[in-house]
């Protein structure tokens, strides 16, 4: 796939997120990052964990898309977002704008709904700073095996 086609596809996905309300931060500027996210001291994994609790559909969309990317692209996405969080608030807004051009789908994490941003920023510090499991799809992140059919609470197959 050409870089142009991939960029156009990612832009379309970003537009779809914005249309769904996941990328809208302010009525006057849909690209603005809400102040609580601009000033948070949380790590990327902490923001992901808090988003999972506060805005599960947004979290699911980001994690699903992330896990469809090639490993080399996943590494670049995480690196770019970690570098973004290392900047001051003004630098973060500029970096989110750049992220929106290169990886628009992932900029949605920072352009979260204005109503969800304070709760995400408030809760993020309660999660571990490093937690790679936040990038795993829900099925992979939950290590609890499903019970075997016909045996409540059992994880062993039943004999026929």
CB of 37 closer than 8 Å to CB of 110: yes
124, 130, 131, 135 alpha-carbon torsion, rounded to 10°: 80
CB of 109 closer than 8 Å to CB of 14: no
| 156 in any annotated domain | no
For residue 7, the model assigns a pLDDT of 42
pLDDT one-digit tens code per residue, 106-147: 988 888 777 899 999 999 999 999 999 999 987 655 444 444
| 11 in any annotated domain | yes
DSSP conformation class of 84: H
pLDDT one-digit tens code per residue, 11-59: 434 433 333 334 333 446 777 899 999 999 999 999 999 999 999 999 9
Structural domain for 100, as ranges:
3-136
Indicate yes or no: pTM above 0.85: no
| 158 in any annotated domain | no
The length of the chain in residues reads 160
| 36 in any annotated domain | yes
The total domain count for the chain is 1
| 142 in any annotated domain | no
């Amino acid at each position: 796939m050409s870089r142009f086609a991939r960029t156009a596809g990612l832009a379309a996905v970003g537009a779809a997120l914005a249309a769904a309300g996941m990328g809208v931060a302010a009525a006057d500027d849909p690209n603005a990052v809400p102040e609580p996210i601009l000033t948070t001291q949380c790590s990327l994994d902490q923001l992901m964990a808090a988003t999972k609790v506060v805005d599960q559909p947004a979290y699911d969309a980001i994690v699903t898309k992330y896990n469809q990317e090639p490993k080399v692209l996943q590494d670049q996405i995480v690196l770019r977002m970690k570098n973004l969080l290392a900047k001051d608030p003004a630098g973060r807004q500029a970096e989110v704008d750049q992220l929106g051009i290169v990886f628009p789908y992932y900029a949605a994490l920072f352009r979260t709904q204005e109503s969800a941003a304070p709760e995400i920023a408030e809760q993020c510090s309660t999660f571990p700073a490093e937690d790679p499991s936040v990038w795993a799809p829900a099925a992979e992140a939950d290590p609890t095996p499903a019970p075997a059919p016909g045996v409540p609470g059992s994880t062993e197959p039943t004999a026929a």
